Amino acid sequence: MNIKWLQTFIVAAKYENFRKASEELFLTQPAVTKHIQRLEENLNAQLFERVGKTILLSSAGYHFLPHAKEILEKYEQGLSDFDSWKQGYKRKLVIATAPQIASSILPSILRSFMDEHPEIEIFINILQSYEIGEEVSAGRADLGLTRIEPSQTNIKRQIVHEEPVILVAPYVERPCDEEQLLQKYRLITHNHPDYWDQLLNDIKQHYPTIRTMNVNQIEITKRFIEQGLGVSYLPRTMVQEELRVGRISEITSEKILPPKSFTYVVTKVATHEVREFTTFLKDEIAKY
């Protein structure tokens, strides 16, 4: 049985349309038809019912589809495992992480961890914070790093880092107070998944006429601040490099009590690799 026949069958079953399958697979429509015919001959079963120009999965097709997917998954996993072995890896760790963590503290931690554990192959999946709990719960990731506490009940979560949220503004040479900034600039909001609703409510109680701009990514927020488009409250680790080189400034909060930001490690099965990385992460993140 040719693995390409299975791939073609799975895509054709998804659409129940050979033309759409040919477009996704970059094959001609006759080639798709030929793959299905060969597979049907090999199985001695009709996988699709043809009614005019319409095709529908037959009962045999419905029954065989999960087996085809399982065979293809094992085939692809085998190739992946063999490729990892050729590269010298003996173990692997799949990490699902939020983009704001992946772009700030994670790179240096990963570099140090991989230097100490060159035999572990690392896979990084970048997801929104609210998706990470489900990724770990479903077993698609060994470990998750997120800024919000997940809701799934079959996974474990622990806080590995707590840090202050600070008010940052375009770089200024002379001191500037909170009230002046919030009158001069728009407040860039909702770039962090956890604290903005309560924080914005507190700010509006003190500054009811404040102008806001919703930007849902921290990296974009930082670039906007550098270009003088606004100010925002961000976790310190997210802006430590920009503060160090003088691209933005930290402003002391006076009336507003900024919240704290938490980093959670999310796990389901405490494999040896998960325990090693979690311990290493706690030690490294304590330096921030």
Is residue 152 located within the same domain as residue 19? no
Is residue 101 located within the same domain as residue 80? no
CATH number for the domain that contains residue 103: 3.40.190.10
pLDDT at residue 210 greater than cutoff 80? yes
pLDDT for the residue numbered 157: 92
CATH number for the domain that contains residue 244: 3.40.190.290
| The length of the chain, given as a count of residues | 288
pLDDT digits (tens, 9 = 90+) for 107-152: 989 999 988 888 888 899 999 888 999 999 999 999 999 988 898 9
Is residue 194 located within the same domain as residue 61? no
Range of the domain at 74: 3-86
Is residue 235 located within the same domain as residue 179? yes
The residue from 86, 112, 130 where one domain ends is: 86
- How many other β-carbons are positioned within 10 Å of the β-carbon of residue 50? 11
Number of H helices, E strands in the chain: 12, 11
In angstroms, the CA 171 to CA 10 distance is 55
Average pLDDT of every residue of the chain: 89
Is residue 172 located within the same domain as residue 246? yes
pLDDT at residue 274 greater than cutoff 70? yes
DSSP 16-76: T-HHHHHHHHT--HHHHHHHHHHHHHHHTS--EEEETTEEEE-HHHHHHHHHHHHHHHHHH
In terms of phi and psi (left: phi > 0; alpha: psi -120 to 50; beta: otherwise), the region of 44 is: left
pLDDT at residue 233 greater than cutoff 90? yes
Mean per-residue pLDDT, 258-282? 92
The residue from 86, 119, 135 where one domain ends is: 86
The residue from 25, 57, 86 where one domain ends is: 86
Domains: count for the chain: 3
CB-neighbour burial class of residue 260 (10 A; exposed 0-12, middle 13-18, buried 19+): exposed
pLDDT for the residue numbered 172: 80
E strand or H helix at 106: helix 106-116
65-74, 85-94, 172-181: segment of lowest average pLDDT: 85-94
pLDDT for the residue numbered 237: 87
84 band by pLDDT with thresholds 50, 70 and 90: low
pLDDT digits (tens, 9 = 90+) for 10-45: 999 998 989 898 999 998 989 999 999 999 999 999
CB-neighbour burial class of residue 8 (10 A; exposed 0-12, middle 13-18, buried 19+): buried
pLDDT at residue 286 greater than cutoff 90? no
Is residue 111 located within the same domain as residue 230? no
Only one residue has tokens 């990296």, namely: 219
Is residue 31 located within the same domain as residue 21? yes
2-11, 31-40, 81-90, 247-256: segment of lowest average pLDDT: 81-90
pLDDT for the residue numbered 200: 93
pLDDT for the residue numbered 63: 92
In angstroms, the CA 119 to CA 145 distance is 22
pLDDT at residue 83 greater than cutoff 80? no
SS3 281: helix
Q: What is the dihedral of CA 200, 206, 212, 216, to 10 degrees?
A: -20
pLDDT for the residue numbered 131: 92
pLDDT at residue 88 greater than cutoff 90? no
pLDDT for the residue numbered 207: 93
86 band by pLDDT with thresholds 50, 70 and 90: low
